[in-house]
Amino acid sequence: MYIGLNLTTASSFQMLRGAVIIFTGLLSVGMLNAQIKPFKWFGMLFVMLGLVIVGVTDIYYDSNPLDDKNAIITGNLLIVMAQIIVAIQMVYEQKYLTKYDVPALFAVGLEGLFGMITLSILMVPFYYIHVPKTFSTNPEGRLEDVFYAWQEIKEEPTIALALLGTVISIAFFNFAGVSVTKELSATTRMVLDSIRTLVIWVVSIPLFGEQFIAIQLSGFAMLILGTLIYNDVLIGPWFRRNILPNLSSHATCARFWLCICGGDSELIEYNQDDQEHLLEA
């Protein structure tokens, strides 16, 4: 993902990370036998559409002649492929956190330990891999150069401060994410995570000079709408409060709309049985 981030923009990076919502939902159904209600799929669809609008317009309105279109496409493909791995991780987290009641902070600590060991080993072969300037701005064209990184940190200590902030931020982020996965679900975690796109977009415009594109506002509106639908905050409660009572005499129709907008279809069956008993009486 971070190699892809170097090839594209921050908002596009966040948009493409939204693909993990669909992958996580599908894997949850296939690997955990989870049952995701239709209204949640609608919410996920709105989130995806909003993220696509943001990312596509970001590329379409890119007027910087120095940007390499092929590099942007390559970076986007790398990010999307990485989301499949992220989705598998999220689903397995949910499976084992639920099965063994692993404390969230302990799980995050183990993930960090394994990640540090794995990446420390990978930095050795990556040091000897030479890549074009598209993938690395290293003077010698190395994919990863720890020695050059230390040299830059010594020359500019504020880099160390930024890295420390990143470590602390990701630590709290992962702890909160694992807690949501344990208490709710992996898919819910990914939907909530998509809100970051809006925050990054708002911050990138004034601080990093990213281009303001008005049409992206519609994408973020769909993103927020999808999140509210998924979490059963907007459409479902209104439907069950104002529309469902009028469908009490049409049990089949009511059950269908309950399936779409959330609720318990057994209540409709119970009400129908009561009405039949009353008619018989």
pLDDT digits (tens, 9 = 90+) for 199-221: 777 777 777 766 677 787 787 77
Tokens of 122: 């990978």
Helix (H, G, I), strand (E, B) or coil at 130: strand
**130: β partners:** 142
Helix (H, G, I), strand (E, B) or coil at 142: strand
Angle between helices 104-127 and 69-100 (to 10 degrees): 140
> Is 51 in contact with 15 (CB distance < 8 Å)?
yes
Per-residue pLDDT at 243 exceeds 70: no
> Binning pLDDT at 50, 70 and 90, where does residue 197 land?
low
How much of the chain, in percent, has pLDDT values that exceed 90? 12
**Nearest Cα to 257, choosing from 271, 243, 277?**
243
pLDDT at residue number 263: 53
Q: Between the ranges 20-34, 151-165, 253-267, where is the mean pLDDT highest?
A: 151-165
pLDDT at residue number 66: 53
Write down the pTM of the prediction.
Answer: 0.63
> Binning pLDDT at 50, 70 and 90, where does residue 249 land?
low
Which residue type, as a one-letter code, is found at position 45?
L
Distance CA 18, CA 196 (A): 10
pLDDT higher for 155 or 270?
155
Helix (H, G, I), strand (E, B) or coil at 156: coil
Q: Between the ranges 161-170, 238-247, 266-275, where is the mean pLDDT highest?
A: 161-170
